[in-house]
């Protein structure tokens, strides 16, 4: 069932009440992503406020999750509530874990931004999906949901033969307009601003039984049961296919939702706010959120920032990008080790899309920025000449541009502040700026949200499960430990350079092969570094960068989904699709057909991350490609 | 050159902030050097009938003697510092440390020390091996460094699986923290 925005605090208070009464720990399952870590941190801090025991388990796929639950059952661990962070919304959790709804008295709270929801989760009494929508907007959406029951636990519709009978597109298909799209992703700012928190033990508004009553956000049975009519059946199947066709993300990060919960129950702090900022930035960097939704969230966070800090002075506003920071030492490691909190300030800032700008040289950040790489192909000589020309237009000597940011001449920084955006337009780079936040630590050093996310992400690089586990905890520690974060910085720089090399290879050697409805890239052999990259959560950043390079450099005239196939082990191929969000509002036939082809090959396909990534047995990737090419 | 092995031994310990594995080879080399120098010193003294009037002989004898003393001091410092690190870490019974990083005599020393502490604690009815400072909080957040199996707590059994994070009552896990199975996290 869905927990709408206004019910967050009620449901959470019920969890608190039950846990304090029964003294059972809360199990927390969290995936490897910055947003998930930030949400986990916020939620565990909320549990700590009430001295509720919890146990945190990193999860690396749904098979791993099943294994964890088997172990919990064998060990007879007693629990009543569990939190799923950035996993669980798109799969039928009860079926996955082999539970029968009537037999269990456990509750699963899911904080996941992946969409679409698995319909069985919406229908379940034991699963609570926390969603940013209000009651009213959800009531409208419920009416458009397809028939429940045609999909498996991973949301794959299991009637492939029906594809031959139905047309993927009908003549009277209506494209979603921008207005509709805006309405459907509107952040419910009213309930944020006018919220008044009221809680006391005596007046807890609802018990779980009341929450589970039919009028409370569960999708009721819809669609009639007279399934004899085959046209009706086909229509239902087609609706289900379209519903589940394309994996997407909600227009909000789970860390913002958890922050909103913290604020609702009056436990929000500035540290939580910073974590929410990091989570949102993680979504932006992976192109999981539209620009307008991102800006809406940023304005909300900016309002929230004013609650914790005095209003920034005019001087601080002008000194965005920390350009007037003259601290010679980036880090006082010993003093900063446990001090991510009290001595630091957070400032709103208009940032440039230059990765790690403050942490290495301006020239390097230009050469390795995803934006400039995709626009100018900086791996080529022409691209490098363009960069030099840009510096010349700005009036910045190359020698100064190759200084680390903190040691760069202040006059050059002032030139950048006044001229950089304009100069970039000369080279066709129009969206260099984006609103964000920076954090200024006690010693005066400055860290942008983007850079911090990149540093934490780079710590996720790992190959096998053991390395992934160590990487997870290192990334978790980096949220509070400066020394670990500094290690992440070194890796982030290495990773950024490596990313450009790989993108250059793909773009230059024309490894992108084109078909009628899609394009694909094939890696028959993966180096160790590439394998580590693809098996980590960073695979998406990599594919987004390739997709954006392809698009911005107009390598092809039309936009099509991009399919990636990489042989990550002798027995398996990792397969995933990329469709940059906002590029198409209707579902391409490719996604429908891709889903159905996967269904046909199911015995030879391993699903670990919902329908985002598939692992196909060696030999079957050819069959997959052949079927998709015949579309 | 004389004294190089002893210098290397001290550096080996100085460079690491935690307890490194016991460097048996270096210790043996230093001891061997001490023995060799002692034999040479004795031979020298016997050859001059313990008469050190000649400055060259006297100087050589003093040099050998100083080197022997220096080597001895370095080895003793090495052993003592290792003992202090083991004792102060609180992991006297830590399985990892006993198996991997300590020598046989260190293991025996630690066992006897632990016995001594236990006997004293029994006699005075106070657990002197516990923390000297009062606990700051009722609950503690810990990461499981090594599988502990299932432990019984006030609220029922809890399975402590490696690489998981737990927030639990301090009294349930204090012993495991002291033994190094759980790492407290701030």
Quote ipTM for the complex.
Answer: 0.79
Which of A49, A75, A468 to mutate: most B Cβ within 10 Å?
A75
Closest CA to B22 of B75, B92, B69, B91: B75
CA distance B151 to chain A (A): 10
Least CA distance to A76: which residue of chain B? B157
Instruction: Tell me if A338 and B186 make a contact (CB, 8 A cut-off).
Output: yes
Token code pair at residue A62: 């749904």
CA distances for B83 relative to B70, B86, B101, B175, angstroms? 20, 5, 12, 21
Closest CA to B113 of B105, B123, B125: B105
- Cα A194 from Cα A351, distance rounded (Å): 30
Query: What integer pLDDT is reported at residue A87 of this predicted model?
Result: 92
Token code pair at residue A211: 């929450």
Residues in chain A: 631
Query: What integer pLDDT is reported at residue A231 of this predicted model?
Result: 73
B17 versus A73: the higher-pLDDT residue is A73
Closest CA to A192 of A123, A252, A109: A252
Give the gyration radius of chain A's Cα atoms.
Answer: 25
CA distance B162 to chain A (A): 10
Query: What integer pLDDT is reported at residue B111 of this predicted model?
Result: 83
User: Does residue B11 belong to the interface with chain A, where contact is any CB pair within 8 Å?
Assistant: no
User: Does residue A24 belong to the interface with chain B, where contact is any CB pair within 8 Å?
Assistant: yes
CA distance A161 to chain B (A): 45
Query: What integer pLDDT is reported at residue A187 of this predicted model?
Result: 37
CA distance B74 to chain A (A): 30
Q: Tens digit of pLDDT for each residue in B105-143?
A: 888 888 888 889 889 999 998 888 777 778 888 899 999
B54 versus B68: the higher-pLDDT residue is B68
Do residues A415 and A334 touch, judged by C-beta distance below 8 A?
no
Query: What integer pLDDT is reported at residue A123 of this predicted model?
Result: 84
CA distance B112 to chain A (A): 36
Nearest to B155 among A23, A55, A480 (CB): A23
Instruction: Tell me if A24 and B155 make a contact (CB, 8 A cut-off).
Output: yes
B147-170 average pLDDT score: 89
CA distances for A405 relative to A163, A330, A491, B110, angstroms? 57, 10, 18, 52
A79-95 burial by CB neighbour count: b if 16+ within 10 A, else e? bbbbbbbbbbbbbbbbe
| Cα B123 from chain centroid (whole Å) | 26
User: How many CB contacts within 8 angstroms connect chain A with chain B?
Assistant: 59
3-class SS shares of chain A: helix, strand, coil, % to 5:
50, 15, 35
User: Does residue A48 belong to the interface with chain B, where contact is any CB pair within 8 Å?
Assistant: yes
Query: What integer pLDDT is reported at residue A196 of this predicted model?
Result: 28
User: Does residue A53 belong to the interface with chain B, where contact is any CB pair within 8 Å?
Assistant: yes
CA distance A303 to chain B (A): 30
Instruction: Tell me if B167 and A48 make a contact (CB, 8 A cut-off).
Output: yes
Measure the N-to-C terminal CA separation of chain B; round to a whole number of Å: 48
Token code pair at residue A546: 């390739």
Measure the N-to-C terminal CA separation of chain A; round to a whole number of Å: 37
Nearest to A55 among B139, B150, B166 (CB): B166
- Cα B4 from Cα A289, distance rounded (Å): 62
Mean pLDDT by 10 residues, chain A (631 residues): 91 93 92 95 95 94 92 89 94 88 84 91 90 85 80 78 43 37 36 30 47 46 49 79 81 93 93 95 91 93 88 44 40 39 79 89 91 89 92 91 87 88 89 91 82 92 77 90 83 90 81 83 88 86 85 73 89 84 60 86 86 89 89 74
Residues of A in contact with B172 (CB under 8 A): none
DSSP string, chain B: -TTHHHHHHHHHHHH-SSPPPP-HHHHHHHHHHHHHHHHHHHHHHHHTTT---SHHHHHHHHHHHHHHHHHHHHHHHHHHHHHHHHHHHS-TT-HHIIIII--HHHHHHHHHHHHHHHHHHHHHTS-TTS-SSPPS-SEEEEEESS--EEEEETTEEEEE-TT-EEEEEHHHHHHHHHTTSEEEE-
Instruction: Tell me if B157 and A77 make a contact (CB, 8 A cut-off).
Output: yes
Closest CA to A248 of A511, A471, A581, A610: A581
Residue A344 is classified by DSSP as -
Token code pair at residue A601: 């090959």
* Region at A223 (left for phi over 0; alpha for psi -120 to 50; beta for the rest): left
Instruction: Tell me if A58 and B163 make a contact (CB, 8 A cut-off).
Output: yes
- Cα A137 from Cα A581, distance rounded (Å): 22
Least CA distance to A22: which residue of chain B? B155
Phi, psi of B141 (to 5 degrees): -100, 125
Nearest to B143 among A52, A53, A473 (CB): A473
| Pairing verdict, β A433-440 and A26-30 | unpaired
Nearest to B157 among A53, A56, A76 (CB): A76
- Cα A539 from Cα A576, distance rounded (Å): 10
* Residue recorded with tokens 């590029």: A583
CA distance B32 to chain A (A): 41
User: Does residue B186 belong to the interface with chain A, where contact is any CB pair within 8 Å?
Assistant: yes
Instruction: Tell me if A469 and B163 make a contact (CB, 8 A cut-off).
Output: yes
User: Does residue A79 belong to the interface with chain B, where contact is any CB pair within 8 Å?
Assistant: no
Query: What integer pLDDT is reported at residue A266 of this predicted model?
Result: 93
Nearest to B167 among A47, A71, A77 (CB): A47
Instruction: Tell me if B139 and A58 make a contact (CB, 8 A cut-off).
Output: no
Nearest-10 Cα torsion for A443, A445, A448, A450: -110
Closest CA to A3 of A195, A216, A185, A174: A216
Nearest to B167 among A53, A76, A469 (CB): A53
Least CA distance to A57: which residue of chain B? B164
User: Does residue A295 belong to the interface with chain B, where contact is any CB pair within 8 Å?
Assistant: no
Do residues A405 and A357 touch, judged by C-beta distance below 8 A?
yes
Token code pair at residue B111: 């066992």
User: Does residue A482 belong to the interface with chain B, where contact is any CB pair within 8 Å?
Assistant: no
* pLDDT tier, B174 (very low <50, low <70, confident <90, very high otherwise): confident
Instruction: Tell me if A53 and B166 make a contact (CB, 8 A cut-off).
Output: yes
Instruction: Tell me if B159 and A338 make a contact (CB, 8 A cut-off).
Output: no
Residues of A in contact with B168 (CB under 8 A): 25, 53
* Region at A428 (left for phi over 0; alpha for psi -120 to 50; beta for the rest): left
pLDDT over threshold 90, residue B92? no
pTM score, two decimals? Answer: 0.79
Query: What integer pLDDT is reported at residue A217 of this predicted model?
Result: 45
- Cα A290 from Cα A283, distance rounded (Å): 9
CA distance A56 to chain B (A): 5
Beta strands in A311-425 (DSSP E): 345-352
CA distances for A356 relative to A431, A434, B88, angstroms? 17, 15, 41
- Cα A373 from Cα A371, distance rounded (Å): 6
């Amino acid at each position: 069932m869905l927990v709408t925005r206004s019910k967050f605090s009620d449901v959470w208070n019920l969890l608190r009440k039950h846990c304090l009464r029964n003294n059972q720990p809360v199990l927390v399952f969290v995936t490897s992503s910055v947003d998930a870590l930030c949400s986990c941190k916020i939620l565990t801090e909320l549990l700590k406020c009430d001295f509720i025991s919890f146990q945190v388990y990193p999860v690396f796929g749904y098979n791993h999750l099943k294994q964890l639950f088997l172990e919990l059952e064998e060990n007879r661990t007693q629990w009543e509530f569990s939190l799923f962070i950035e996993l669980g919304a798109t799969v039928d959790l009860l079926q996955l874990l082999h539970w029968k709804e009537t037999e269990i008295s456990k509750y699963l709270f899911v904080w996941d931004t992946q969409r679409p929801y698995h319909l069985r989760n919406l229908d379940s009494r034991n699963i609570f999906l926390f969603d940013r929508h209000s009651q009213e907007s959800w009531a409208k959406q419920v009416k458009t949901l397809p028939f429940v029951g045609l999909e498996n636990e991973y949301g794959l519709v299991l009637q492939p033969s029906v594809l031959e009978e139905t047309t993927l597109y009908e003549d009277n298909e209506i494209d979603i307009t921008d207005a509709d799209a805006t309405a459907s992703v509107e952040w419910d700012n009213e309930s944020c601003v006018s919220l008044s928190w009221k809680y006391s033990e005596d007046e807890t508004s609802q018990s779980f039984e009341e929450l589970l009553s039919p009028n409370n956000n569960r999708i009721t049975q819809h669609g009639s049961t007279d399934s004899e009519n085959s046209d009706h059946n086909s229509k239902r199947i087609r609706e289900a296919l379209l519903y589940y066709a394309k994996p997407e993300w909600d227009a909000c990060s789970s860390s913002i939702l958890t922050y909103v919960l913290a604020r609702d129950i009056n436990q929000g702090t500035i540290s939580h706010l910073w974590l929410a900022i990091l989570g949102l930035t993680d979504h932006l960097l992976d192109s999981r959120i539209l620009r307008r939704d991102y800006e809406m969230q940023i304005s909300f966070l900016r309002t929230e920032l004013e609650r914790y800090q005095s209003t920034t002075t005019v001087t601080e506003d002008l000194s965005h990008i920390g350009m007037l920071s003259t601290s010679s030492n980036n880090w006082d490691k010993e003093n900063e080790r446990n001090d991510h909190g009290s001595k630091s300030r957070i400032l709103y800032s208009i940032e440039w899309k230059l990765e790690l700008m403050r942490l290495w040289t301006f020239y390097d950040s230009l050469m390795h920025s995803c934006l400039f790489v995709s626009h100018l192909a900086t791996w080529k000589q022409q691209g490098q000449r363009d960069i030099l020309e840009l510096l010349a237009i700005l009036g910045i000597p190359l020698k100064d541009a190759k200084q680390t940011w903190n040691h760069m001449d202040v006059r050059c920084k002032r030139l950048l502040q006044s001229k950089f955006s304009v100069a970039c337009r000369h080279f066709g780079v129009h969206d260099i700026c984006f609103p964000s936040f920076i954090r200024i630590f006690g010693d005066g050093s400055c860290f942008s949200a983007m850079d911090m996310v990149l540093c934490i992400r780079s710590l996720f690089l790992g190959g096998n499960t053991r390395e992934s586990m160590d990487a997870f905890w290192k990334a978790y520690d980096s949220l509070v430990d400066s020394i670990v974060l500094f290690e992440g910085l070194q890796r982030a720089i290495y990773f950024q350079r490596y990313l450009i090399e790989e993108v250059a290879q793909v773009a230059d050697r024309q490894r992108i092969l084109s078909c009628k409805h899609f394009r694909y890239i094939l890696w028959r052999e993966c180096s160790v570094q590439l394998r580590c990259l693809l098996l980590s959560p960073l695979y998406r950043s990599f594919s987004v960068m390739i997709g954006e390079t392809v698009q911005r450099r107009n390598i092809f005239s039309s936009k099509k989904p991009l399919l990636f196939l990489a042989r990550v082990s002798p027995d398996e191929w990792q397969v995933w699709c990329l469709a940059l969000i906002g590029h198409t509002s209707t579902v391409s036939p490719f996604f429908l057909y891709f889903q159905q082809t996967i269904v046909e090959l199911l015995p030879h396909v391993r699903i670990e991350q919902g329908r985002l990534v598939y692992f196909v047995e060696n030999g079957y990737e050819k069959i997959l490609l052949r079927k998709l090419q015949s579309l | 050159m004389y004294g190089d092995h002893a210098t290397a031994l001290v550096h080996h310990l100085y460079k690491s902030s935690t307890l490194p594995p016991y460097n048996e080879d270096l210790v043996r080399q230093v001891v061997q050097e001490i023995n060799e120098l002692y034999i040479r010193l004795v031979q020298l003294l016997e050859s001059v009938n313990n008469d050190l009037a000649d400055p060259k002989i006297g100087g050589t004898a003093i040099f050998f003697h100083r080197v022997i003393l220096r080597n001895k001091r370095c080895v003793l410092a090495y052993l003592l510092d290792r003992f202090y690190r083991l004792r102060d870490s609180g992991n006297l019974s830590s399985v990892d440390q006993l198996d991997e990083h300590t020598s046989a005599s260190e293991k025996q020393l630690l066992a006897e020390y632990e016995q001594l502490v236990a006997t004293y604690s029994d006699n005075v009815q106070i657990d002197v091996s516990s923390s000297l400072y009062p606990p700051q909080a009722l609950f503690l957040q810990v990461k499981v460094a090594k599988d502990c199996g299932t432990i019984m707590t006030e609220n029922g059994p809890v399975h402590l699986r490696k690489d998981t994070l737990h927030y639990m009552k301090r009294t349930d896990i204090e012993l495991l923290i002291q033994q190094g199975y759980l790492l407290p996290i701030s």
